[in-house]
Structure 1
Amino acid sequence: MTVLVHRLRFATAALLTFVACAMPLVGSSRTHAQALDAPVATEAQFRDWLLRTVWPDAERQGVSRDTFERSFAKVTLDWDLPELQPPGRATPPDSQRQAEFQSPGRYFAEAQLTSLAKRGNELLRQWAATLDDIERRFGVPREIVVAIWGRESNFGRVTARHQAVRVLATQAFMGRRRTLYYPELLSALVILEEDHLSGEALLSSWAGAMGQPQFLPSKFLRYAVDGDGDGRRDIWQSAPDSLASIASFLREHGWRPEQRWGIEVRVPQTVTCALEGPGQGRTMQEWLRLGLAPIGDASLPEWSSNPTAFLLMPAGRLGPSFLVSKNFYVLKQYNESDLYALFIGHLADRMRGASAFAGEWRPIDSMRRSDIHAMQERLKSDGYDVGRVDGLIGFATRTAIGQWQAKSRRDETCYPDAGLIQAIRGARP
């Protein structure tokens, strides 16, 4: 029997003894005893899972026995994390689908944008030489890199306090999204092996995102780079490493240096809002011939080669509209959200001196994600492509709404309200 087996079994026995001794004695209440036994039994299953499942896979990834043992020597399950499904317990309700849907305009709080832009400009000056090198090396504009840095960790001011290995192990063992987190747990062990870090140094958010760029472990292994020349990829303490790693991620996902992310435009009523999305691109000249026009002082120098542009209307006709390049969809690789990518592009523009959006975010009815989910199901059953049925109003859902409105001879808004949701769920146009 290996030393590893002895140590893990000893750790399991010690854990059981510790928890048992710590339990308050409350007579012979069976209910109380069962409530206390469940976490103890689950911890024991967890240690057995580490031994029988995680260790063989980690070894195949090149993780040494010593690294594995040190990484899990003091690790227990983190019962405070969200989205847990302990073995033997009923599946909890999908709280995400019950949450109230927030208006897109709330994502762009002016006070936050002003504060981030001000601080971002200070850091653009402070790290000018580093950012010069990053632009030469990766071809990504400094303002875009700094905007992501600001959005993800407030320029490194927000520090993680969770141990990544514990978070990832807990989620991989009994989280709702086990299949997502298990490869990330193995990647974290590879980081500890290759970068000679300790488990205590590998800190993350409650969701396992690490460092100032908020990389999951697999993203760290693939995209993190040494930006300050010290031979290490330290995205926790080093601003140059963090900035260079963000730029590395964007370049590897296809960032095109010659293009800007997008511009705000005015969309005439004669142009259907159902033309939105990455699958309906047209050349800039084609959009202009349809009547779309840049707002304010926006110019088109980066579009002179007439590349494909895409219509973006994140609130349908109830908010600002944009023409975006493929770089916008590169930003979405960092976070799969239209609003996130738009926030990054707009914040970068604000650092260059741009003004707030000209278009107004109009008030939007309060809606529950469960209602949006039901609306998506109905649209899908009627043959409309809504994308993922998830209770979120993505571009595919917005386009489907616009198509339904046109077929029903309604004004096209490409965005739901309470009445429209009921109409879609209750009638077949």
Structure 2
Amino acid sequence: MKLTSILLALAVSASPLSQAAPAKKPGKKTAHAKAKPARKAAAVAVPAAAAAAAGTAAQAGDAVVFSESEAVNAFADEVALRHGFPREELDKLIAQIRYIDTAVQLVKPAPKGKPKNWQNYSRVTIEPIRIKAGVAFWNQHAAVLARAQAEYGVPAEIIVGIIGVETIYGRQTGRFRVLDVLATLAFAYPEAPNRAARMAFFRGELENALVLARKSNIDPLSMLGSFAGAIGMPQFMPGSVLAYGVDYDNNGSIDLRGSAVDAIGSVASFLVQHGWQAKQAGPLVYPAGVSDDRTWERFLNQGLAAKFGAEELRASGVSTSAVLPANQRFGLIDLPNGADPTEYRIATDNFFAITQYNRSYFYAMSVIELGRAIRLSRSGQPLASAETL
């Protein structure tokens, strides 16, 4: 199986369907479980009437001719009114948007029964191709990464880790037309318990994509991205480009598709605006052991936030060989390994900031470990598995 196929399978089974969309309050599900894209704040709200109409656009699995859909045309009326788009231009554009069944198939929930496995996931994401490409990317953009680290307080290795996990430094940014997949998921999302919410999210992102194209002075049909509409090297949803994108090369436009400099600045901007603590020193996560009495289980499934003191964790049977800062809060995360023993980590605010990019413990851990592996490889140091992360 090709690497890209393995990655896609893992992404669907262990992480959200889109990256770097604005954040919402986490629930109490384990973060590595199937979750909704977490970052929705920048999506434009769709009125209730349009939301109701959208539900009639297509039953799950039906192809849509968007120009003939009442729900799509009602949506276009509202977008034209809110943003001043000429209605006839929207009609011409809608006539060119195509239903993408691949997107529908890829957002369907993964079959139940296959256990999640952190070790398998990490072997796919933290591997020689990404490490080598990450060293080259860091060397090429060392000055920009150093500037972002100084200005935002986000370590270069975390920025490099995110861009590496997302697209292997721009090698795999997606070949779907963004408007096609967003319209498909906005008006023909497959049957699922959260179908109405997901359709509303993608309608908002379709609207954001139109606004973004106009703001960037580009043909909206020229935007390419993932099967869920994520764009560029860091895989931002259109609303996140509008909300968190940075013109870091100061050329007058934000280009996450062609400018690694803008991608670097935008990743750092996103993390800071989602809870990254620049002054928080020390590792992002600490290796943890747990006692047999399982009193520590109450710390699991507590959302994507650091809520507990070091003494509180220790008193309930969570141990670590590291010295935890007394003035910080922490969370306990679990990393299942299928039939093998589950691994545990004590996580900080900055770990959870990464989970706002993608609501998955597996994802955040892979970003941290890939960035660390690249840093060590770049400096000629061996990768010691026992090193504190």
TM-score, normalised to structure 2, is 0.70
> What residue number does 2:226 align with?
205
| Counterpart residue identity of residue 186, structure 1 | E
Q: Does 1:214 align with 2:239?
A: no
* 1:233-252 equivalences in 2 (<5 Å): 233-252=254-273
Q: Does 1:178 align with 2:199?
A: yes
| Counterpart residue identity of residue 256, structure 2 | I
Q: How many positions carry a matched residue from both structures?
A: 307
- Residues 1:192 and 1:267: Cα distance change in structure 2 (over 3 Å): same
> What residue number does 2:274 align with?
253
Tell me the distance in 2 between the aligned counterparts of 1:287 and 1:79: 47
Following superposition, the deviation at residue 114 of structure 1 comes to 4.2
Tell me the distance in 2 between the aligned counterparts of 1:357 and 1:84: 34
Aligned-residue Cα RMSD (Å) equals: 3.1
> What residue number does 2:357 align with?
334
The one of 137, 149, 156 aligned to 2:170:
156
Range with greater deviation from structure 2 (70-79 or 343-352): 70-79
Question: Percent same amino acid at aligned positions?
Answer: 28
Q: Does 1:123 align with 2:137?
A: yes
* 1:8-407 equivalences in 2 (<5 Å): 42-43=64-65, 46-65=68-87, 68-69=90-91, 71-83=93-105, 96-98=110-112, 100-109=114-123, 112-176=126-190, 177-259=198-280, 260-269=283-292, 272-277=295-300, 278=302, 281-287=307-313, 292-295=318-321, 300=323, 303-304=324-325, 306-315=327-336, 318-353=341-376, 355=383, 357-358=385-386
Following superposition, the deviation at residue 116 of structure 1 comes to 2.4
Tell me the distance in 2 between the aligned counterparts of 1:355 and 1:275: 33
- Residues 1:66 and 1:248: Cα distance change in structure 2 (over 3 Å): farther
Tell me the distance in 1 between the aligned counterparts of 2:344 and 2:103: 38
Following superposition, the deviation at residue 67 of structure 1 comes to 5.4
> What residue number does 2:35 align with?
none
Tell me the distance in 1 between the aligned counterparts of 2:96 and 2:255: 24
| Counterpart residue identity of residue 59, structure 1 | L
| Counterpart residue identity of residue 225, structure 1 | V
Following superposition, the deviation at residue 327 of structure 1 comes to 1.3
| Counterpart residue identity of residue 178, structure 2 | A
Following superposition, the deviation at residue 48 of structure 1 comes to 4.4
SS at match of 1:321: strand
Following superposition, the deviation at residue 355 of structure 1 comes to 3.8
Following superposition, the deviation at residue 293 of structure 1 comes to 4.7
Following superposition, the deviation at residue 64 of structure 1 comes to 4.2
Tell me the distance in 2 between the aligned counterparts of 1:304 and 1:288: 13
C-alpha contact (below 8 Å) 2:181/2:228 kept by paired residues: yes
Following superposition, the deviation at residue 286 of structure 1 comes to 4.7
Range with greater deviation from structure 2 (313-322 or 218-227): 313-322
C-alpha contact (below 8 Å) 1:63/1:190 kept by paired residues: no
Tell me the distance in 1 between the aligned counterparts of 2:343 and 2:386: 7
Following superposition, the deviation at residue 140 of structure 1 comes to 1.0
C-alpha contact (below 8 Å) 1:275/1:311 kept by paired residues: no
Deviations 1:380-411 (A, max 9, x none): xxxxxxxxxxxxxxxxxxxxxxxxxxxxxxxx
C-alpha contact (below 8 Å) 1:43/1:76 kept by paired residues: yes
- Residues 1:84 and 1:131: Cα distance change in structure 2 (over 3 Å): closer
- Residues 1:207 and 1:190: Cα distance change in structure 2 (over 3 Å): same
Structure ranking higher on relative contact order (CA contacts 8 Å, 6+ apart) = 2
Tell me the distance in 2 between the aligned counterparts of 1:196 and 1:250: 27
| Counterpart residue identity of residue 347, structure 2 | V
Where structure 1 has 5 or more consecutive residues not aligned to the other structure, the ranges are 1-37, 86-93, 360-429
C-alpha contact (below 8 Å) 2:179/2:206 kept by paired residues: yes
| Counterpart residue identity of residue 117, structure 1 | I
TM-score, normalised to structure 1, is 0.64
Tell me the distance in 1 between the aligned counterparts of 2:346 and 2:106: 40
